[in-house]
Amino acid sequence: MAEQGNGQGWTQRTRMAAAGRRPREQFGYVNTPIYRGSTVLFPTYADLAARTGRFSYGTAGTPTTQALEEAWSELSGAETTVLTPSGLAAIAVALMTATAAGDHVLVMDSVYRPTRQFCDTMLARFGVAVTYFDPMLPADEVRALVRPETRAMMLEAPGSQSFEVPDLPAIVALARERDLCTILDNTWATPVFLAPHALGIDLAIEAGTKYLSGHSDLLMGLVSANAAWAKRLRATFDSFAILPGPEDVFLALRGFRTLDLRLREAERQGLAMARWFKARPEVARVLHPALPDCPGHGNWARDFRGSTGLFSVLLHPAPVAAVAAMLDGLRLFGMGYSWGGYESLVIPFDCAGYRSATRWRSDGPALRFSIGLEDVADLQADLDSGFARLRAAC
Ligand SMILES: *Cc1c(COP(=O)(O)O)cnc(C)c1O
């Protein structure tokens, strides 16, 4: 079979089956195995002095990490990809790549909450100032927030918990005009449904913990860069040398092979459940980018190739005890953080306490659902009983 890099003309799905594989270097075995190691031996003094060979030391990568990096770069349309031990570490590496003391960064108000925490604590300590902005603010109004020392924009689409879909092409155009580095947390769509670098994004982040793993059994982050930012990303990454373990890289690469298939199913399941919620009398609003109710739905329809299984549901006003009765009795929906696994999850949330450029509005309790691979009819029956408990306690 052809080795990696001969995929011109193939569709994305086909390239995802072929990317990052080098069977001839692995005795013909289909998958690159788990390489464990710190030391790489050089055969001669001259080889050591010249650092010949693809690998030189554990922190500089192994055939296992290279396979996932190459596969991810191919899917993302990126020049390079680095792997980190969590999604949050990927965000930290990207922000440290794009900023220096004295800089100013524009950050979407709807970013993942720990991203905000990193900006307000670590970036602040290193002398980087931050301004939050409304993800739905027109680019012309965002322009007014750009200062002479502004260097980067931290974006997320759709927003965490609240699912606003910003006008990414307009924001990227503004960033280009003012020479700002654009960082996009693309975890929800993954590069399967939003090709970040084709859109002009400089650094794209994926929490591989979510759909890439798909099984709630590992933590992983990926940062991909276009040609302009590849060297600087790699240099920042090399300075930190924070690496995921080889078993997790192997499992993430295994997840990569079925990512397209699993996301298409997540889309189907997610839409079926979102539409079902929308028809429920207990539900005030469903925030799902593929439904017209969602702020920025038009942006989603224009820029994204699909939707996934994570969305929010705003209930009509109900006491906390009634929501607890609803959630505590669920048999198929686990209550816990993270998402994108094969099993369905739910968490209650409230953004009111930590948004600063926007005001979070929900008259009633808000729930975020991650729809897994269970049968939709069983999930609906479970929630039907849940809603009965909610009504009984109202
Ligand atoms: C979960 C998540 C992260 C962080 O990933 P971890 O691996 O849990 O650190 C980053 N961004 C988004 C949008 C997430 O949902």
**Structure confidence by residue, pLDDT tens digits, 193-221:** 999 999 999 999 999 999 999 999 999 99
Give the predicted TM-score (pTM) of the model. Answer: 0.97
Residues of the chain with CATH 3.90.1150.10: 260-393
What distance in Å separates the CA atoms of residue 159 and residue 157, rounded to the nearest whole number?
Answer: 5
Residues of the chain with CATH 3.40.640.10: 12-255
What distance in Å separates the CA atoms of residue 103 and residue 3, rounded to the nearest whole number?
Answer: 43
Please give the C-alpha separations between residue 224 and each of 24, 185, 333, in angstroms, as whole numbers: 26, 11, 33
How much is the pLDDT for 158? 98
Q: Domain 260-393 has what CATH class? A: alpha beta
Q: Could you tell me the distance, in angstroms and rounded to a whole number, from the CA of residue 91 to the centre of ligand 1?
A: 9
Any atom of ligand 1 within 6 Å of the Cβ of 160: yes
The kind and range of the H/E element at 82 are strand 80-84
How much is the pLDDT for 7? 61
Q: With a cut of 70, which residues of the chain have pLDDT below it?
A: 1-7
Q: Determine contact, residues 251/218, Cβ cutoff 8 Å.
A: yes
What distance in Å separates the CA atoms of residue 159 and residue 368, rounded to the nearest whole number?
Answer: 12
How much is the pLDDT for 4? 53
Query: Is domain 12-255 annotated with CATH 3.40.718.10?
Result: no
Any atom of ligand 1 within 6 Å of the Cβ of 187: yes
How much is the pLDDT for 93? 98
Q: Could you tell me the distance, in angstroms and rounded to a whole number, from the CA of residue 119 to the centre of ligand 1?
A: 15
How much is the pLDDT for 6? 54
How much is the pLDDT for 367? 98
How much is the pLDDT for 60? 94
How much is the pLDDT for 53? 81
Any atom of ligand 1 within 6 Å of the Cβ of 207: yes
How much is the pLDDT for 129? 98
Among residues 107, 94, 288, the alpha carbon closest in space to that of 203 is found at 94
CA-proximal residue: ligand 1, atom 8 (nearest): 87
How much is the pLDDT for 52? 81
Any atom of ligand 1 within 6 Å of the Cβ of 155: no
